[in-house]
Amino acid sequence: MLRSQNGISVYTVLSVILFVALVFILAVPNFYNLDKEKNIEDCVNNMKQIWVATTDYVKDTNADFSGDLNLLTKTPKATDPKNKYLNSLRFCPETSRQKTEYLVYGKYVAEQIGTEIKHNYGVIVLCPNMDKFPKHMIGKSFYENMDPTQLQNYMIEDIDFIDKETGSNGARKKELIMKYIEIWKTDAEAFAKRKANTNALRAILFPDKFGEIAPVE
């Protein structure tokens, strides 16, 4: 058997080298976040949990949510004071070294129908790294079993439309969703406009595609 000057077999040396190489190959994806599919799954799961927490908060307060996730980690649930709305802050796995909070907005709309008031809640959760990772989005199918309100359905449909129109252009996708959120923040008639015309808010984002939309009377 071939041996080195120190009496160690060449096969033993090769085995050690191969073992170290194998460990390195298996460790690199975790160390550098190279497992993109797992990162997408983890990021989407983070956003789902944040969506549930924010939706519960908006329902309990009947008020808009500005996006301060620290508030959710500090505020006891109205129906379960022993627990907070969000157990801990979560971050996109693509930027584990530079932690940036998810972008979140919650909208509450009270709609008078006859003598009754219908409560509408809508929440949007956006990955801060969407410009680089456009697949980091909550899929439309997630909401099917979440009993969404009419407002939430509007948001789901509009964001799905934005997603399809922008495709793999993450920067454009993020820009338009942020602009969409701003519409809900600043336009008190946004709900009425969207209810009257499916394309009312989309036209603001894609004026060349829809042209001018008639105002709500």
pTM of the model: 0.81
Domain range annotation of the chain: 1-32, 39-210
- What would the mean pLDDT of 143-160 be, rounded to a whole number? 96
pLDDT of residue 31 exceeding 50: no
Q: Are strands 116-126 and 103-113 parallel, antiparallel or unpaired?
A: antiparallel
Q: Which two tokens stand for residue 141?
A: 């199918």
Mean pLDDT computed over 3-30: 56
Instruction: Please report which confidence band the pLDDT of residue 110 belongs to, taking 50, 70 and 90 as the band edges.
Output: very high
Res 98: pLDDT: 75
Q: Where do runs of H (alpha helix) occur along the chain? A: 10-31, 36-61, 69-74, 150-166, 170-186, 190-196, 200-205, 207-210
Q: State how far the alpha carbon of 59 is from the alpha carbons of 63, 101, 147, 185, in Å.
A: 8, 22, 13, 17
Tell whether the torsion through CA atoms of 30, 88, 149 and 191 is positive or negative.
negative
Q: How confident is the model at residue 99 (pLDDT cuts 50, 70, 90)?
A: confident
Q: 26-30, 89-93, 104-108, 178-182: which has the minimum mean pLDDT?
A: 26-30
